[in-house]
Amino acid sequence: MAGKSLNFIAEIGLNHNGNFGLIFELIKQASYSGADFVKFQLGWRAQPGEINQLKKEDIEQIIKSCQHFNIKPLFSVFNFAAFELAERFGMQDYKIASRTVIEDPQLVRKVIETEKSVYISLGMTQETHPFAFSNNIHYLWCQSLYPIHPWEVTAFPKKFDQKGVAGFSDHSIGIELALIAVMRGATIIEKHFTLDKSDVTIRDHALSLTPDEFKTMVNSGREIKKYRDLGI
């Protein structure tokens, strides 16, 4: 019997380098690579003159581009102003960065109260369930190293499930650790996404996947899940 669906999140984050003209192409390539969600950050490094000052018209472009390419938009919200702005656009899913779990738990509770799907990274907390149980919470295991090398991985879950940690927010280089997570039951994989890994504008490019790499991860992950669902 098939289990819960497997979803892939292409984390663009700041990999647009402040060039919002790249947004359409990034979303296009994420969709072509098989991602279910494409994720941006709202309220982080977003002051006037900073690299991620997304304005109302930029968010509109993101949402329209996602609709055009049949992929779901997802935002990490870092403050109440960012959350209120996203709510005006009728967002149905939210991401919470692990630093927000530590620095602004009141905001996290407010997002959870919407009863929309909330994906929460656990990289900066030792707790596996930092908030009261709710069916709309999906916890993602994570280590907050950028990148994380194989010898630095500690306490990687032996089993993923919705009652515990449902998925994996992956900062490693390559696709291997993400596929191990799928083998162990993960139903959500978040991975940074770039058009150019050699770009040094933002550190995240180096640990990101290119469209071809992301597509390989998605295709391999979905095939692994078929075997997993057979009980193998």
- 3-state secondary structure at position 94: strand
> Which pLDDT score, from 0 to 100, does residue 3 have?
52
26: phi then psi, degrees, rounded to nearest 5? -60, -45
Q: Which of 29-38, 137-146, 151-160 has the highest mean pLDDT?
A: 29-38
Indicate if the pLDDT at residue 177 is higher than 90.
yes
Q: Which CATH superfamily is domain 7-229 in?
A: Aldolase class I (3.20.20.70)
**Which tokens is 110 given?**
């407010």
Indicate if the pLDDT at residue 1 is higher than 60.
no
Say how far residue 205 (Cα) sits from the centre of its chain.
Answer: 15
Average pLDDT over residues 176-194: 97
pTM equals 0.95
- 3-state secondary structure at position 172: strand
Compute the distance between CA of residue 210 and CA of residue 232 in angstroms, rounded to an integer.
30
Contact 142, 168 (CB under 8 A): yes
